[in-house]
Amino acid sequence: MANDTNVTWHQHQVSRAVREQSKGHRGCVIWFTGLSGSGKSTVANTLDHLLTGHGFHSAVLDGDNVRHGLNAGPGMLRETHGEDYAQRFGLGFTAIDREENIRRIGAVAELYCQAGLIALTAFISPYRIDRDRVRATMNPGDFIEVFVDTPLEICERRDPKGLYKKARAGEIKNFTGIDDPYEAPVSPELTLLAGERSPEMLAQEVIDYLAASRIIPAVERG
């Protein structure tokens, strides 16, 4: 890979293999993708709860939360860092800002994975190329793409934050599924029919996949 000059890679003393051995499971990234309101956060949090209950080590990275810190928008950065900084580094919802959002989260999730964690990410990540680029930074088998396949009509009916209503009224522009694209995965590791099943059932489907892929050992069903 092309590199910036004067930047070198350090090998850490405690390897990923040693961390995984002490945790009793492999590290990986479970990348939930789907429309706003499809159930990404709910399933990721339910899964996190189940995994933690089994004694595994997982952590959730969630779009709304990360956009309050690491990937804050210009409005949040303006007061503390000034206008120029806010414009340069703040992330909104243009295609290029979403690309940078996903690139950064992909890098963070990869670090979690290297630390032996099961990283659960819940971002719309609407562009196939952005998700594929994250996949390409990871070892084969480490990136598990999970399509939270809830039809737009159901997401819009749920509308927990009232954003679809605002988007339909033209108060929010470039809203995914309304006037901005969502590119569904072509061959995800898992597709969850999330408009038809409970979050617990969906989380269990992911657990079954992880056990079948030997990322976690087989566990008793709850």
Is residue 194 near ligand ADP by the rule CB under 6 A?
yes
- The C-alpha angle 120, 121, 126, rounded to 5 degrees, equals 150
Is residue 128 near ligand ADP by the rule CB under 6 A?
no
Q: Which does 56 bind (CB under 5 to 8 A by kind): ligand PPS, ligand ADP, none?
A: none
Q: Is 205 within 8 Å of 190 (Cβ atoms)?
A: yes
The tokens describing 172, both together, are: 């929010």
Which of helix, strand or coil describes residue 192? strand
Is residue 101 near ligand PPS by the rule CB under 6 A?
yes
Which of helix, strand or coil describes residue 196? coil
- CB nearer ligand PPS, residue 55 or residue 162: 162
Determine which residue in the list 158, 166, 208, 211 makes contact with ligand ADP, applying CB under 6 A.
158
**Residue 189 per-residue DSSP state:** S
Is residue 109 near ligand PPS by the rule CB under 6 A?
no
* Catalytic residue (one of 15, 22, 58, 125): 125
Determine which residue in the list 114, 137, 174, 191 makes contact with ligand PPS, applying CB under 6 A.
174
Q: Is 59 within 8 Å of 117 (Cβ atoms)?
A: yes
Interface with ligand PPS in residues 191-220 (CB under 6 A): none
Give CA–CA dist 114/26, Å, rounded: 9
Contact track, ligand PPS, 39-78, x by CB under 6 A: --x---------------------xx--x-----------
**Residue 39 per-residue DSSP state:** S
Left (φ > 0), alpha (ψ -120 to 50) or beta: where does 214 sit? left
**Binding-site ranges for ligand PPS (CB under 6 A):** 36-37, 41, 63-64, 67, 93, 98, 101-102, 123-126, 161, 163, 172, 174-176, 180
**Would you please indicate which residues are annotated as catalytic (active-site) residues?**
125
